[in-house]
Amino acid sequence: MKKIAIVGAGFSGAVIAHELGRTGNYDIDVFDTRAHVAGNCHTERDAETEVMLHVYGPHIFHTSNEKVWKYVQGFDEFMPFTNRVKAVTKGRVFSLPVNLLTINQFFGKTFNPREAEAFLASIGDKSIESPQTFEEQALRFVGKELYEAFFKGYTIKQWGMHPSELPASILKRLPVRFNYDDNYYASKYQGMPRHGYTHIVEKMLDTPNVKVHLQTSFDRSMGEDYAHVFYSGPIDAWFGHCEGRLGYRTLDFAAERHHGDYQGNPVINYGDEDVPWTRISEHKHFSPWETHEKTVIFKEYSRYCEETDTPYYPIRMAKEKSQLKNYIGLAQDEKNVSFVGRLGTYRYLDMHVTIAEALEVAEKFLACEAIGDRLPAFVVDPLG
């Protein structure tokens, strides 16, 4: 059997391991430096309260991809869950994403959808024809007041940069709705795994011929022992950071335990710049089918990711993109390595996209194998 190495036991690595392992044709070693699988999706029960914790921050599964939705059901039962986020700004609470209730409450109006749309168009800055930055995108479509209340402070805290320096694409993740739909996501499917994400990843990895090595780092030279390496670690680390470190934001969580219900909602965002945390998540509300007397909350703080910190959000500004380009060039010279996932391709990826791409990588690998071809370094263009 051909030996395969998979670096990283997050969703990318676990899906590829599962798909290759179940063919029965490969002997697969999965390596992860951490003491647990599932990467930043890791969930575990809090010893004191029994609450299921999203250890690296809130992860809500949502997708419009039928194939991915069906695939994940194979590993756990998905419980009904709709993410409804609230936002605190200047001493008041509103509904997110910006919707008709947000607009009416914020401006003290009773607009219907048509009126609200016309109103936002009237307060939007029409002189900005094709918004390039986050700030221009916001000023164009929601106007100065909503931008300053909900987006400006939050974004400065989250990215450590002014929204005028950030690309419009980040804001495009959030819709503006002219109805009372307060579902944070527009995806067709949404849910929370009954037993948590770590359980799913463990099940994926519980496949014949798949061996998991935790707390084990993978050195580039170890690749010689394998027919192919799937690498989901940071792409710059693979090359010893020779083109400089790619910038990330990291998160710190300050956990608190309380009795009862702390905030009455899974996630509340804080738009004011002078409130140091970006959001507070209350984890028992991620499992609304469970009952717990006590509660655990995480106050979430964002900052620049230093060498020994856990990387979360790739910064991807002009400087990082040019570094990334150099790393892509180096990666393409590798013979038997494919770079996958959030860290391997240095992209801001949701779980469902990670899973869809990992399935595609596994399929392409097997198709290449069938005709004696080599899988390229990237199945998805990291700059695309």
| Chain positions contacting ligand UDP, by CB under 6 A | 87, 96, 150-151, 154-155, 158, 170-171, 173-174, 269, 271
Closest of 246, 248, 238, 234 to residue 321, by C-alpha: 246
173 is catalytic: yes
115 is catalytic: no
34 is catalytic: no
Q: How far is the CB of 220 from ligand UDP (least distance, A)?
A: 31
Q: How far apart are CA 161 and CA 309, in angstroms?
A: 19
45 is catalytic: no
CB environment 175-210: b (16+ within 10 A), e (fewer):
ebbbeeebbbbebebbbbbebbbbbbbbebbebebb
**Residue 214 phi, psi dihedral angles, 5° rounding:** -85, 160
Query: Among 236, 282, 300, 357, which one carries the catalytic annotation?
Result: 300
Q: How far is the CB of 337 from ligand UDP (least distance, A)?
A: 28
Query: Which one, 171 or 331, has the nearer CB to ligand UDP?
Result: 171
Query: Among 140, 279, 342, 347, which one carries the catalytic annotation?
Result: 279
Q: Is the peptide bond before 97 cis (omega within 30 degrees of 0)?
A: yes
Q: How far is the CB of 251 from ligand UDP (least distance, A)?
A: 9
Q: How far apart are CA 365 and CA 339, in angstroms?
A: 12
Query: Among 140, 236, 249, 346, which one carries the catalytic annotation?
Result: 249
347 is catalytic: no
Say if CB 88 and CB 268 are below 8 A apart: yes
Tell me how long the chain is. Answer: 384
Query: Among 301, 312, 313, 348, which one carries the catalytic annotation?
Result: 348
Q: How far is the CB of 384 from ligand UDP (least distance, A)?
A: 20
Strands ordered across the beta sheet of 86-89: 92-95, 86-89, 267-270, 279-282, 294-304, 248-259, 313-314
Query: Which one, 327 or 346, has the nearer CB to ligand UDP?
Result: 346
Q: How far apart are CA 4 and CA 17, in angstroms?
A: 9
Q: How far is the CB of 217 from ligand UDP (least distance, A)?
A: 27
Query: Which one, 76 or 148, has the nearer CB to ligand UDP?
Result: 148
Query: Which one, 22 or 84, has the nearer CB to ligand UDP?
Result: 84
219 is catalytic: no
Query: Among 177, 316, 342, 347, which one carries the catalytic annotation?
Result: 177
245 is catalytic: no
Query: Which one, 171 or 297, has the nearer CB to ligand UDP?
Result: 171
Positions marked active-site = 173, 177, 249, 279, 300, 348, 350
